[in-house]
A and B are shown apart, each in its own frame.
Chain A
Amino acid sequence: GAGVSQSPSNKVTEKGKDVELRCDPISGHTALYWYRQSLGQGLEFLIYFQGNSAPDKSGLPSDRFSAERTGGSVSTLTIQRTQQEDSAVYLCASNVRGGEGYEQYFGPGTRLTVT
């Protein structure tokens, strides 16, 4: 079946512009995460959605970052007034909770370059 998909795969934007990154999780997966990964670095947690619960936004680095998840499926990460330090790969992941289903499936990522 289809895995986690993300779009666009690459995004080049000018400093100060807003960008939207999209994540389509695996159908039926209730949990969705966004991570940021700078070159050669680890997985920086940004935000976590679980079912109808309030999202865990504790990882968002500033108020320029926001995310929403509509209908418990597709998620959009928005970065306003982009800065050069926002350049990174943004990874989305999803998993189904409960039972044996804790494997987290990652999308291919969106490489964001802010010029």
Chain B
Amino acid sequence: GENVEQHPSTLSVQEGDSAVIKCTYSDSASNYFPWYKQELGKRPQLIIDIRSNVGEKKDQRIAVTLNKTAKHFSLHITETQPEDSAVYFCAAIITGTASKLTFGTGTRLQVTL
């Protein structure tokens, strides 16, 4: 089955700096890659996703890039703010099949003042 590795496990950045979280996946058939944000004490929520037919997607301060050849994708957060502090999970799935969504192990991002 699919295996998703995520790093770093923890990341501390100063407010205003950029943060990058990287994930690799094992199944070349995976074609949908969402990112979830989990704030302290809350449930994970989707923040951005990318499909394998594009290489990059942006939404204001967050962007995701995908390299299908290398089987890795990354989350980029620019101009970080304290409210970006959370745990971020990447995931991968093969759409159109019964395969399950596989999550990475999570990255705890701390944005310091």
Chain B residues near A14 (CB, 8 Å)?
A: none
B98 near A50 with CB under 8 A, answer: yes
**Distance from B95 Cβ to chain A, minimum over Cβ atoms (Å):** 6
For the residues of A in contact with B, the DSSP-based class is loop
A109 near B96 with CB under 8 A, answer: no
Asked whether A109 and B43 contact (CB < 8 A) given A43-B89, A102-B95, A104-B101, the answer is yes
Q: Interface residues of B toward A: which range?
A: 20 to 34
- Beta-carbon contacts under 8 Å, B9-34 to A: 32, 34
Interface flag for B105 (CB, 8 Å): yes
A57 CA / B46 CA spacing, docked (Å)? 24
Chain A residues near B101 (CB, 8 Å)?
A: 33, 95, 102, 104
Which residues from chain B sit less than 8 Å from chain A, CB to CB? 1, 32, 34, 36, 43-46, 49, 87, 89, 91, 93, 95-96, 98, 100-106, 108
